[in-house]
Structure 1
Amino acid sequence: MSLARFLRGAVLAPALFSAVLAAPLPAAAADVVVFAAASMKNALDDFAARWQAETGDKVTVSYAGSGKLAQQILQGAPADVYVSANVGWMDEVEKAGLIARDGRKDILGNSLVLIAHGATTEPVDIHSGFDLADRLGDHKLAMALVNSVPAGKYGKAALTSLGIWGAVEPKVAQADNVRAALALVSTGEAPYGIVYSTDAEADKGVSVAGTFPADSHPPIIYPAALLKDAADPADRAFYDALSSDMAAKVFKTYGFTVLPRGE
């Protein structure tokens, strides 16, 4: 190598190294952490997969009872978005000052049904004083936790409104969340259970025996929130997308009622 070529290389190499350092690095995909009610699993998994494919950002969803998730958020769990099956638990998170400004909206509705084990079942006329306790006999009624999980609270409210909670209460088998209650009926461990209509649609091992009157329990509303410490633009983008046309199409497919935007 000539001295001239060596000198030129010695000058260009630092310049090239500096240029490499100055070049913008590819943007890393953001990770959106979502805490969501167990009843949303099938629908939200579907929507999250579509959103990931469209944006390149990653969504990690943790499913459990809305109350359990709210308690975790109140204790400092690092979630970016929270979707509850109950307005009351979302109120607790908001009272604690953990929701971002303009970061709460009601997105979905649902209905409450009595399910039975098996693909088909005899229809049940759900009315005041109906004979659910007699139907159960010595068997159990599967419900989510009746004092903390929204589906369980709605179910207890409905049975109370219909005047049969006292007779049914000793026969209730409580599960950690609504999907766990669904599994008890699907596997035949309980002949009947109370879940959301969307849960019943998601499991071929159960059938809907009847739908509880809408006025027998508080309205089933799913609020979504962007949490205060959510720092990435992707967090806000995912939260906004929950009320998008794509989300509405997915949620309707799984049987949810999509609430008007801005409600």
Structure 2
Amino acid sequence: MGTDHTLTRRIWRCLTVAFGLLAALTILAPPALAEPKPPLVLAAASLQEAMTAAAEAWARRGHPRPVVSFAASSALARQIMGGGDADLFMSADEDWMDTLAKAGLIVPETRTRLLFGALVIVGPAGGRLHLRPAPGFALARALGGGKLAMADPDSVPAGRYGRDALQHLGVWDQVSGQVARAENVRAALGLVAHGAAPLGIVYATDAFAEQRVRIVGVFPAASHAPIDYPLARLKSSTNPEAEAFRRFLLSSEAKVIFRRYGFVAP
């Protein structure tokens, strides 16, 4: 009986020592590192393929893959002004970035004019129409009573560029009643791709991304304001990955990606 009691006490002493060592190791061990949070990027719809490829390239470097949300620059800017959560904003024009800057919502020193683009007219891939956008060119005749697909000229950058170009060339009044206003440039592209409109005005990069359309005309650069894509970090962002990814987008590696999708990346 005494032997059993002694054995039991020894077992309890061993267990006590073991639990003590385990507790000490738990206290002394460094805390597990939290997984980095992926940055949230709000980007103009026309950047879809290029920004997706850039995010994948960044992830291959061992970083969490950025979450990229695409829509019209106007919709994204309003989302940010409404308190929407995001880390980076890449607009399809300077005006919406200016709006956020005036509202104090971006970090000014992170604002960069990253990319440039071209404005084109697209038609069905199987067509043979060719247009040379110039003063008074026959756009109304080419439409033949059909719709001209454009992003909304009153709010979306691609639509504003298109309206400005047509006004500059003196043909806006002839076709304004036939405009099919889309919520963004990709929606306008889709109208032509699906045969709902015979012609559309989009960015050249959008035309490259859709096999069911072809470029039938290129607007002169002087007919509209420069098509540029500014990038900035939002002031509300606290994610260190956001600044790291922003810097990557400025790198030579990222510029190769953007050029592959038809952008001019100086």
Q: Which TM-score band applies after superposition, normalised by the shorter structure? A: over 0.9
Q: Normalized against structure 2, the TM-score is what? A: 0.93
Percentage of identical aligned residues: 42
Which residue of structure 2 lines up, in the alignment, with residue 56 of structure 1?
A: 63
Contact 2:121-2:215 within 8 A present in 1 as well: yes
Distance 1:201 1:52 in 2: 25
Distance 1:63 1:20 in 2: 45
Query: Which residue, 19, 23, 26 being the options, matches 1:13?
Result: 19
Code of the aligned partner of 1:181: A
Which residue of structure 2 lines up, in the alignment, with residue 40 of structure 1?
A: 47
Distance 1:104 1:148 in 2: 22
Query: Which residue, 242, 245, 250 being the options, matches 2:249?
Result: 242
Query: Which residue, 213, 223, 232 being the options, matches 2:220?
Result: 213
Structure 2: gaps of 5 or more residues: 1-6
For the pair 1:71 / 2:75, whether they are aligned, the reply is no
For the pair 1:134 / 2:141, whether they are aligned, the reply is yes
Code of the aligned partner of 1:6: W
Answer with 122-131 or 213-222: which moved more.
Answer: 122-131
Q: Normalized against structure 1, the TM-score is what? A: 0.94
Does the residue aligned with 2:66 lie in a helix, a strand or coil?
strand
Within-5 A mapping of 1:152-167: 152-167=159-174
Contact 1:30-1:58 within 8 A present in 2 as well: no
Code of the aligned partner of 1:89: W
Asked which structure has the greater CA Rg, the reply is 2
Question: CA offsets, 1:85-135, max 9 Å, x none?
Answer: 010100000111011252211100000000001245322111110010111
Which residue of structure 1 lines up, in the alignment, with residue 105 of structure 2?
A: 98
Distance 2:263 2:252 in 1: 14
Distance 2:115 2:24 in 1: 53
Does the residue aligned with 2:32 lie in a helix, a strand or coil?
coil
CA-CA distance at 1:239 after TM superposition:
1.1
Does the residue aligned with 1:99 lie in a helix, a strand or coil?
coil
Contact 1:122-1:209 within 8 A present in 2 as well: yes
RMSD of aligned alpha carbons: 1.4
Distance 2:127 2:142 in 1: 16
Which residue of structure 2 lines up, in the alignment, with residue 111 of structure 1?
A: 118
**Cα 1:58/1:19, change in 2 over 3 Å:** farther
Structure 1: gaps of 5 or more residues: none
Contact 1:29-1:58 within 8 A present in 2 as well: no
Code of the aligned partner of 1:69: L
CA-CA distance at 1:9 after TM superposition:
2.8
**Cα 1:101/1:166, change in 2 over 3 Å:** closer
**Cα 1:119/1:240, change in 2 over 3 Å:** farther
**Cα 1:119/1:32, change in 2 over 3 Å:** farther
Contact 2:101-2:108 within 8 A present in 1 as well: no
Contact 2:107-2:235 within 8 A present in 1 as well: yes
Distance 2:261 2:134 in 1: 27
Contact 1:39-1:199 within 8 A present in 2 as well: yes
For the pair 1:203 / 2:206, whether they are aligned, the reply is no
Code of the aligned partner of 1:95: K
Number of residue equivalences: 259
**Cα 1:101/1:192, change in 2 over 3 Å:** closer
